[in-house]
Chain A
Amino acid sequence: MPETSRRGLLFGTAAVSAGALLTACTSNEPKTKEPAANNEPAASDDKPGKKVTIGFAGPQADHGWLNAINENAKSRAGKYSEVTLEITEGSNDTAAQIGQVQTLINKKVDVLVILPADGKALTQVGLQAMKAGIPVINLDRVFASPQAYRCWIGGDNYGMGLNAGNYIGERLKDKKNAKVVELAGLDNLELTKQRSQGFADALKNYPNIKRVARQAADFTVESGQAKMAQLLQAQKQFDALWNHDDDQGVGALRAIEQAGRDDFLMVGGAGAKAAMDAIKADNSVLKATVLYPPTMAASAIDLARALGQGKGVGGMSELEIPASITLYSAVVTKDNVDEYLPTGFS
């Protein structure tokens, strides 16, 4: 090595101090921590019963909604003193997730809650668990065979589109030749097709409304901004916009701000906290969002607990929990946003 030059030393020191400064900048902790929201609906039967161990396996929490799924499951399980939650490291790799579920089977947990990275690919391991006598709660992404789960609980993509369409329809029903624009999610996914179908079916109820344009973004802020900017350029005047996903909606709202447009009403989807905050503030075009509630993970824990303790669902006269539960995609507006705000995810 040549002798250390002064320039080298100078650059070295600068690099080290920049590094030190930067590592301090990875924190995302707010300066003043707000107390965690705590007004979830009470469980039907809060008396501690028989001890239940619940195994939970989900995909990698690489976006807000999935992250909220994990948090909802954890906080709900924490509420019950008799419930122990065995949660695995999330994975998007089918083989890895199969291994994780098998580990949970070998540990002989009482009930399994599985949100598969890919429903069809995880069917076999669901069957395996059921055969081993461990009932499975299948969360959201459905297995290929009903034999692979005891109960399926999940969101309603078609219903999201339907409710968004009906909300927009009611708002525009007195307007002649009303124009509607759709900013869809990733077109490769079946759920996007279902959402668009529901939206189209709802709009059929309103002959005065026509969907004039549809573009697909890919659930990211960046794509939301890019596609929305193009839509705004293409459609110089329209009355309403439905955006499938609030994450890409952050970008869409940015594009709308950049284009200086406020001549239409916007409805979001999924139920992110940022979107609900904007609806509450009522200072942008965003007036409503249709839910795809991550609280379904908390409900899945409730169902797993009931299953483990041999109980039914409170408020229903059945002795057993249902085999299938499709959640309602509520429309969150300024009037009811306060109720839903605690369920909003970031």
Chain B
Amino acid sequence: MTQPVSPAQRHQQDGPAATPAKTPARQPAGLRPDVRNLSLLGVLAVLVAVGGFTKPEQFLDSSNLQLVLTQASVIGVVTVGMTFVITSGGIDLSVGAIVALASVWATTLATQEYGFAGILFTAVVVGLACGLVNGLLIAYGGMVPFIATLAMLASARGLALQITDGKTQIVTVDSVLDLGVPDSYVLGIPPLVLVFAVVTVVGWLLLNRTTFGRRTVAVGGNAEAARLAGIDVRRQRLYLYLLSGLCCGIAAFLLVVLSGSGQNTNGNLYELDAIAAAIIGGTLLSGGRGTIVGSVLGVLVFTTITNIFALNNLQSDVQQIAKGAIIVAAVLVQRRTARDGAI
């Protein structure tokens, strides 16, 4: 097979010139993630072009922008938390189950008695509590994150089922329901999207502009070196799983607002969606590098794909096949651009 040799391939063949590109973890500067973000923006632009070309009337419409951003907000908040955990070299498989547990706990008849504050408080505290258990097991119990959070996934789903008894818990608190309908939009922006934006900005500041963020990257890059440098690695890990739990709690509240209910099947496979979004965003699965902007772009890519498919009335089978292909294509394009850009 003869193919045109791209600059990237040429660099690879050159040998030494390509080396820096292959060891991104060693590169502390934010350059590489930024380049990746740029290429992901390109992917998003292509998607927008496809959407605009196939369904101009429905796709290029402010109500569609509201729709895409709203659908992205729940999984987006979860992904911000996940990005921190992955950056530190960990993984949190329990996010979907925590969202389910927090959303059903926050919508029991007993909780609804306490109104808006009760629902918000319960969702956030249940999320934090699950994160605390994860963090303690991993940081101080010496358990592998994969196993500890897998155990949490099973138990939290079980507890959610026990609370609901398999029933759909419908929310009757008007102040909560009102947050999800157009009357509550601020300058055309749904409150859910505002929360998503705030979580994104806070997450970005935390990761890029604070000691906490630098410690997270250090722990993920090389935990032993971080320990020798005086970082309390265990406490840092505890905080990170707490943070992920907190994000799940917030996401659970958003989901309650969005769907007007709590159900033990909520948050199905969020762990995979969040991990996939973070990875195509440019966060390194092995830790040491993370980008909030990339993760959010990753979430937007997925939500936009779903949106375009639905608007074009493609069925589930085609959607799934195409989604897999697009993920592979997005990652390939991105790696190529990143390689070119870095040199």
Contact = CB atoms under 8 A, between A and B. Distances in A.
Contacts of A18: 125
Contacts of B169: 28
Interface in B46-67: 55, 57-58, 61, 63-64, 67
Contacts of A147: none
Contacts of B261: 221, 250-251, 254
Given A62-B161, A214-B315, A250-B170, A222 B255 contact: yes
Interface in B7-66: 55, 57-58, 61, 63-64
B38 to A, nearest CB: 29
A258 interface: yes
Interface of B: 55, 57-58, 61, 63-64, 67, 70-71, 105, 108-111, 114, 118, 122, 125-126, 129, 161, 163-170, 180-182, 255, 258-261, 263-268, 306-307, 310-313, 315-317
Contact of B109 (A27, A218, A220, A223): A27
B166 A61 contact: yes
A46 interface: no
Given A22-B126, A28-B163, A257-B181, A62 B264 contact: yes
Interface string A203-217: 000000000111110
A27 B112 CA distance: 10
A24 interface: yes
Given A22-B122, A234-B55, A346 B313 contact: no
A42 B184 CA distance: 50
Contacts of B165: 28, 61, 67
A64 B266 CA distance: 14
Given A216-B316, A231-B310, A234-B55, A66 B166 contact: yes
A236 B58 contact: yes
A247 B263 CA distance: 10
Assign chain A's interface to a size class: 35 or more
A346 B261 CA distance: 12
Given A25-B118, A213-B313, A234 B58 contact: yes
B263 A220 contact: yes
Contacts of B260: 250-251, 254
Given A220-B263, A254-B260, 16 more contacts: A22-B122, A25-B108, A25-B111, A28-B108, A61-B166, A62-B166, A66-B166, A188-B316, A212-B313, A213-B313, A221-B266, A222-B268, A229-B67, A231-B310, A254-B258, A254-B261
B163 A26 contact: yes
B259 A187 contact: no
A221 B268 CA distance: 11
A30 B259 contact: no
Interface string A62-94: 111011000000000000000000000000000
A225 to B, nearest CB: 5
A212 to B, nearest CB: 8
A272 B311 CA distance: 29
Q: Which of B55, B70, B170 has the most CB of A within 10 A?
A: B170
B278 to A, nearest CB: 21
A272 B166 CA distance: 13
A215 B313 contact: yes
Contacts of A29: 109-110
Interface of A: 18-19, 22, 24-31, 61-64, 66-67, 187-188, 212-216, 218-227, 229-231, 233-234, 236, 247, 250-251, 254, 257-260, 272, 274, 346
Contacts of B61: 233
Contacts of A236: 57-58
Contacts of A30: 109
Given A187-B315, A222-B268, A26 B168 contact: no
A220 B268 contact: yes
B55 A222 contact: no
Contact of A234 (B71, B255, B310): B310
B67 A233 contact: yes
Contacts of A24: 110
A29 B111 CA distance: 11
Nearest to B107: A28
Contact of B110 (A27, A218, A224): A27
